[in-house]
Amino acid sequence: MVSVAVPLQVGEHAVFGRSCCAQVDVPIDERQRTIAFLSAKWLKLRSMKYLLSMSGFLLLTALVGCNSGKVEEKAAIPPNIVLIVADDLGFSDIGSFGSEIRTPSLDALAEQGLKLTNFHTAPTCGPTRAMLMTGIDPHPVGMAANAAAVRRVKALQGRRGYDGRLNSDAVTVATLLSDAGYQTYMAGKWDLGSVEGSRPVDRGFQKSFALVGAGASHFSDARGALSIEKEARYLEDEKKVESLPEDFYSSRFYTERIVDYIDGGDAEKPFFAYLAYTAPHWPLQVPDDWVEKYRGQYDEGWKVLSERRLAKQLALNPGTDLPDYVPARGVSDWDSLSAEERTARSRVMEIYASMIEYMDWQIGQLLAHLEALPSDRPTLVIFMSDNGPEGNAVDRIGDTGKWVAETFNNDLDNMGRRNSYLWTGPGWAQASAQPLRLYKSFVSEGGIRTPAIVSYLGSTTDQKTTDALIVATDIPATILDAAGVVHPGSRYAGREILPMEGRSMLPILTGSPGPIHGGEAIGWELYGNRALVRDQWKALLLWPPAGNGEWQLFDLASDPSERNNLADRYPDKLDELILDWNQYADDKGIYRFELDNGYGRY
């Protein structure tokens, strides 16, 4: 007999919650018959628009034991796979995670699928994208820090792992899927290198339109995001893009390009589509007819917004213990600002919210297109943000402040338009990260825990949320598992490579309550700041100005906001985790800074 996890209904809209499952026994000699039956049933029920339960539907992909988590059988019908990544989107920035921002497409995806409320990334974009492509910690694959950070911090230059681009020590999920007969497409932000060998076309994507760097104007002027990179660089496959269409807007263009790739492909073959938005990354910009959508909605300031989001999270998940609002470092009291400052700061958040709603609208366009495809092949959709919201002082990066003042028009009536340049700052970022601590570039929860949703289109599940620890390195492992593709381990194409570290989350998708990282130590490091999680325990070290350079200990199961330091109460536990972190640093070749080397600090 094999035990199959069948999810039991839990809180319908939980923000922080737990899931459970029942056991159903299936005779081992009937597993193939069960898969064949369910495959035929999927083909029949899809045409009837019947909504399958996730537990039944995912048996197309795997029969999973609730205790062992071992995948017993692979999919009879390899699914289409779509990975959607937002850029600098905070934990509470979509409706189903507590936001007032209108995100009906993502909310519907969450309603029919599964919300991941304990999903973790790296603290910044490039390292996370390396995790997503390889299933490996970013340090050994060359992306210990973004290229801009390596240029900025001279001590990192020349060190292995601090290449600022994806190295050749790992094979990407796109390459493996392409080898297995998948069509592979990519549109949007790449941020893993522009030289030959590190471009999307070199790393398994058969068709791609990629923003090479970390950020850019969202319009056709193609200005860069920083003074050290004043012009954005785009690649279409291996060719440099000399100019963008006059009506270019990032979220719309990337979505349309992915749709074009899908429509131009072979309908008989499965595809993997990686859609990497640059929204809502700064500079904050939206099409002119979207500028006024949130006029006046943030006039009461970031403290009020934070409190409202916390209240909504409590309403979505009654009984959850969430903290009171605590301002982050650098956050001014709203009432201490002048009337002109409050108006300008409110405007910034209005534009940020409009960018998110516009992105959600484009996601809705894509999902509708996928639903309408003539093929009966199922489609697995994964949505996530690459890190927490941006709360740092962007204008303090090099001479960016001077460049912005000389180059852009940030008058109130021009904010959010083509030639403006805005960023959120710590007040709004802390609201976006609620109820978590700090924001992007920090290894505290506000920097590395982000909203994520997994769904098979056309199916629904009674299980609406899971608080199981899932890491960005688990995404490629899950994608390969769903596709029935086996990672080659430590050798590929006759050479040594790094084995994948991530774990497939398919057991969780089928309702297994057991963790996929039970007892495993998972580490983080960026800009000298350090963290490690094992089970519910987290050790955290932040250097000044965000911390005091001493290790802290938190129980994330009861304190995801990292407000109750338990270091004095459980010193032996903290010592264990510190030893684990030092072993992690040795294994990954981490350069240990004894200070914070982050950007834009307050």
What's the N-to-C CA distance of the chain in angstroms? 59
Label residue 267 by pLDDT band (50, 70, 90). very high
Residue 311: pLDDT over 60? yes
Query: What pLDDT does 465 receive?
Result: 92
Query: What pLDDT does 509 receive?
Result: 83
Q: Give me 65's structure tokens.
A: 């034991």
Contact indicator for 209, 275 with CB cutoff of 8 Å? no
Tell me which residue of 374, 362, 370 sits closest to 455, measured CA to CA.
370
3-state percent breakdown (helix, strand, coil) of the chain, nearest 5: 30, 20, 50
Residue 38: pLDDT over 50? no
Average pLDDT, the chain: 88
Q: Give me 511's structure tokens.
A: 């309702």
Rounded Cα gap, residues 294 and 587, in angstroms: 48
Query: What pLDDT does 541 receive?
Result: 98
Residue 571: pLDDT over 50? yes
In sequence order, what are the residues at sequence separation of 6 or more whose Cβ sits closer than 8 angstroms to the Cβ of residue 348? 284, 415, 422, 423, 424, 425, 428
Label residue 266 by pLDDT band (50, 70, 90). very high
Query: What pLDDT does 317 receive?
Result: 81
Q: State the average pLDDT over residues 366-391.
A: 96
Query: What pLDDT does 329 receive?
Result: 76
**Which SS3 state, helix, strand or coil, does residue 86 take?**
strand
Tell me the pLDDT tens digit for each residue of 143-187. 999 998 898 888 889 888 999 999 999 999 999 999 999 999 999
In sequence order, what are the residues at sequence separation of 6 or more whose Cβ sits closer than 8 angstroms to the Cβ of residue 120? 448, 449, 450, 469, 470, 471, 472, 522, 533
Tell me the pLDDT tens digit for each residue of 199-211. 999 999 999 999 9
Which backbone phi and psi does 527 adopt, to 5 degrees?
Answer: 55, 25
Which range in 20-34, 44-58, 124-138 is most confidently predicted, on average pLDDT? 124-138
Query: What pLDDT does 70 receive?
Result: 33
Residue 429: pLDDT over 70? yes
Residue 332: pLDDT over 60? yes
Q: State the average pLDDT over residues 355-380.
A: 96
Query: Which domains are delineated in the chain?
Result: 2-75+482-509 (no CATH), 81-455 (3.40.720.10), 521-588 (3.30.1120.10)
Tell me the pLDDT tens digit for each residue of 492-530. 999 999 999 999 999 888 777 779 999 999 999 999 999
Bridge partners of 226, per DSSP, are: 229
In sequence order, what are the residues at sequence separation of 6 or more whose Cβ sits closer than 8 angstroms to the Cβ of residue 405? none
Chain centre to alpha carbon of residue 542? 22
Residue 28: pLDDT over 50? no
Q: State the average pLDDT over residues 537-557.
A: 97
Environment class of residue 555 by beta-carbon count within 10 Å: exposed (0-12), middle (13-18) or buried (19+)?
middle
Rounded Cα gap, residues 482 and 180, in angstroms: 13
Query: What pLDDT does 496 receive?
Result: 97
User: What is the residue whose two structure tokens read 């032996």?
Assistant: 572
Residue 17: pLDDT over 70? no
Q: Give me 594's structure tokens.
A: 């004894």
Environment class of residue 462 by beta-carbon count within 10 Å: exposed (0-12), middle (13-18) or buried (19+)?
middle
Residue 244's identity, in one-letter code, is L
Q: State the average pLDDT over residues 105-131.
A: 97
Rounded Cα gap, residues 308 and 304, in angstroms: 6
User: What is the residue whose two structure tokens read 């240990």?
Assistant: 592
**Which SS3 state, helix, strand or coil, does residue 80 take?**
strand
Maximum C-alpha span of the chain: 73
Rounded Cα gap, residues 223 and 92, in angstroms: 29
User: What is the residue whose two structure tokens read 């969450």?
Assistant: 110
Rounded Cα gap, residues 427 and 436, in angstroms: 13
Rounded Cα gap, residues 307 and 323, in angstroms: 10
Label residue 376 by pLDDT band (50, 70, 90). confident
Label residue 309 by pLDDT band (50, 70, 90). very high
Q: Give me 543's structure tokens.
A: 């250097």
pTM, full prediction: 0.89
Q: State the average pLDDT over residues 127-138.
A: 98
* % of the chain residues with pLDDT over 70: 87
Q: Give me 349's structure tokens.
A: 């958040």
Label residue 323 by pLDDT band (50, 70, 90). confident
Query: What pLDDT does 582 receive?
Result: 98
Query: What pLDDT does 76 receive?
Result: 66
Tell me the pLDDT tens digit for each residue of 245-257. 999 999 999 999 9
Residue 79's identity, in one-letter code, is P
Residue 67: pLDDT over 70? no
Q: State the average pLDDT over residues 429-450.
A: 97
Query: What pLDDT does 3 receive?
Result: 34
Contact indicator for 177, 480 with CB cutoff of 8 Å? yes
Contact indicator for 132, 164 with CB cutoff of 8 Å? no
Tell me the pLDDT tens digit for each residue of 351-362. 999 999 999 999
Label residue 474 by pLDDT band (50, 70, 90). very high
Label residue 457 by pLDDT band (50, 70, 90). confident
Query: What pLDDT does 316 receive?
Result: 87
Element (H, E) at 313: helix 302-316
Query: What pLDDT does 5 receive?
Result: 32
Show the DSSP H helices in 209-301 as ranges.
250-263
Residue 285: pLDDT over 50? yes
